[in-house]
């Protein structure tokens, strides 16, 4: 990924010229004639606020001009971010299980092993299904050809745009209702959609649908055992004699 103009996404050779230490001149974009990347001179807090506000130019600055393959160890960064993402996802699972009352100090060894197996399945299998659906939708719905390098670029953008998961750390310190996780996931979804729009230059609607499909399929696969159990309960309840079901409903 080369440097880009944050206004229009046009490729640019260099973002600024340095005459002496601290004395730089920002370059203008040949396409839109605006300053190619004004964030170079901004405080990091302004960039963070613009990222939270989902401004595409802030995402272009981060994904193209800060994280540049020529200046960073790209593969190393990708693996580190993937590991951090999986750790946050495992922690999210533990918070949800804890809120259901399935975790506690008096747990038996077998139930601890069972929780660990479910957590691994949720984290690895769930995210595998998520990525499979995501890239399938990118190829079919957004009509983007996916090579290995393109796939790595989009994956890196996807992982970086999940930065909202960092708020899970706050849940280690302060007590929040587990519904906060749902809000964090929603922010991640919208952030992923903006990053995808910036990286593929597709329409926002299509990017939102691509990300939403991946999240929805992951949710269905991960929750499948519980959904099947719920379906069986509803089926069993509907097959009960009417008088009995009415009686059980009022007891
Ligand atoms: Zn431009």
Give the Å distance between the CA of 73 and the centre of ligand 1. Answer: 27
Q: Using an 8 Å Cβ cutoff, are 160 and 61 in contact?
A: no
Asked whether residue 6 is assigned to any structural domain, the reply reads no
Say whether both 129 and 46 belong to one domain: no
Say whether both 175 and 135 belong to one domain: yes
Q: Using an 8 Å Cβ cutoff, are 15 and 40 in contact?
A: yes
Q: Using an 8 Å Cβ cutoff, are 40 and 34 in contact?
A: no
Which range marks the domain in which residue 21 is found?
A: 16-66
Asked whether residue 118 is assigned to any structural domain, the reply reads yes
Say whether both 52 and 155 belong to one domain: no
Give the Å distance between the CA of 4 and the centre of ligand 1. Answer: 8
Asked whether residue 237 is assigned to any structural domain, the reply reads no
Say whether both 141 and 28 belong to one domain: no
Say whether both 59 and 141 belong to one domain: no
pLDDT tens track, the chain, 251 positions: 678 999 999 999 999 998 888 788 999 999 999 999 999 989 999 999 999 999 999 999 999 999 876 666 778 888 999 999 999 999 988 888 888 777 776 777 888 888 888 888 889 999 999 999 999 999 999 888 888 888 988 999 999 999 989 888 888 788 778 788 889 999 999 999 999 999 999 999 999 999 999 999 998 888 776 666 666 667 776 766 655 555 555 55
Say whether both 176 and 154 belong to one domain: yes
Say whether both 80 and 40 belong to one domain: no
Residues with Cβ–ion distance below 5 A, ligand 1: 5, 7-8, 10, 29, 31-32
Say whether both 128 and 60 belong to one domain: no
Say whether both 22 and 113 belong to one domain: no
Give the Å distance between the CA of 130 and the centre of ligand 1. Answer: 33
Q: Is 28 strand, coil or helix?
A: strand
Say whether both 114 and 199 belong to one domain: yes
Give the Å distance between the CA of 103 and the centre of ligand 1. Answer: 53
Give the Å distance between the CA of 251 and the centre of ligand 1. Answer: 68
Say whether both 193 and 87 belong to one domain: yes
Give the Å distance between the CA of 2 and the centre of ligand 1. Answer: 14
Asked whether residue 241 is assigned to any structural domain, the reply reads no
Tell me the pTM.
0.83
Domain count, the chain: 2
- Tell me which residue has tokens 């069986």: 232
Q: Of the candidates 46, 47, 12, 49, which has an alpha carbon nearest to the alpha carbon of residue 29?
A: 12
Say whether both 84 and 30 belong to one domain: no
């Amino acid at each position: 990924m080369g440097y880009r103009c944050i206004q229009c996404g046009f490729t640019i050779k260099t973002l600024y010229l340095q005459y002496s230490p601290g004395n730089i001149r920002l370059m203008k974009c040949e396409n839109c004639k605006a300053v190619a990347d004004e964030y170079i001179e901004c405080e990091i807090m302004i960039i963070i606020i613009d990222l939270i506000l989902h401004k595409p130019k802030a995402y272009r600055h981060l994904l193209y001009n800060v994280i540049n393959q020529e200046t960073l160890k790209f593969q190393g960064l990708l693996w580190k971010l993937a590991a951090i993402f999986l750790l946050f996802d495992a922690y999210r699972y533990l918070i949800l299980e804890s809120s259901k009352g399935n975790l506690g100090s008096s747990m038996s060894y077998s139930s601890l092993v069972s929780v660990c197996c479910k957590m691994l399945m949720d984290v690895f299998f769930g995210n595998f299904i998520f990525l499979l659906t995501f890239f399938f939708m990118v190829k079919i719905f957004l009509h983007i050809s996916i090579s290995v390098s393109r796939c790595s670029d989009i994956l890196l953008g996807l992982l970086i745009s999940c930065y909202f998961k960092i708020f899970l750390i706050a849940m280690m310190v302060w007590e929040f209702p587990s519904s906060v996780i749902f809000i964090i996931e929603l922010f991640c979804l919208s952030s992923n959609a903006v990053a995808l729009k910036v990286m593929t230059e597709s329409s926002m609607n299509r990017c939102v649908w691509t990300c939403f499909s991946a999240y929805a399929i992951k949710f269905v696969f991960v929750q499948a055992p519980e959904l099947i159990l719920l379906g069986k309960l509803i089926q069993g309840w509907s097959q009960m004699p009417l008088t009995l079901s009415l009686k059980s409903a009022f007891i």
